[in-house]
Structure 1
Amino acid sequence: MSCSSDDNNSTQKEEEEETPTAVSKYIITATPTASEGVADYILTADELNQGIISTEGNGVEQDGTYRYYVTNNNKFFSLLYGQGNPGAVTTYELNEEGTLDKLSDFQSETVQAFAAVDNDILLIKISRNTESPYAYWYRLDTETSQFVAEGQINTQELANKENGELAFFSWITQVGDKIYLPYFTVKACCNDTFGTDYPDEANIAVYSYPEMELETVIHDDRTSSIGRYFVNGLTVDEKGDAYAFSSGVATTNGELSTTKPSSITRINQGETTFDESYLFNVEEAIGGKYVTTHMYLGSGKFLVHLGLSEEKGAYTTGKEFAIIDVYSETVTEVSGTPAVEDIVLVTARNNYVSEDGATAYVGITTETGSYVYNIDVATATATQGLEVQGGVITAISELEYVE
Structure 2
Amino acid sequence: MPDATPRPEPFTPQASPAALEDLRARLRATRWPDSPEDAGWSLGTDLTYLRELVTYWADGFDWPAQEAALARLPRFRVPLGGLGIHFVHARAAAPAGSVLPLVLCHGWPDSFWRYAKVIPLLTDPGAHGADPADAFDVVVPDMPGYGYSDRPTGPPLASPAVAGLWAGLMDTLGYRRFGAAGGDIGSHVSRYLALDHPDRMVAVHRTDAGVPVFTGDPADLAPEERAWLDGAAAWGATEGGYAAMHRTKPQTAAVGLTDSPAGLAAWIVEKLRAWSDCDGDIERSFTKDEILTNVTLYWLTGTIGSSMRMYRANAAIPPAQHARRVEAPAGFSLFPGDIVRPPRAWLDRTANTVRVTEPPRGGHFAPFEEPELYAEELRAFFRPYRSAM
Tell me whether the two structures share a fold, i.e. TM-score over 0.5.
no
- TM-score, normalising length: structure 1: 0.25
Which structure has the bigger radius of gyration? Answer: 1
Which has the larger helix fraction? Answer: 2
- TM-score, normalising length: structure 2: 0.26
Which has the larger strand fraction? Answer: 1
Q: Which has the higher contact order (CA 8 A, sep 6+)?
A: 2
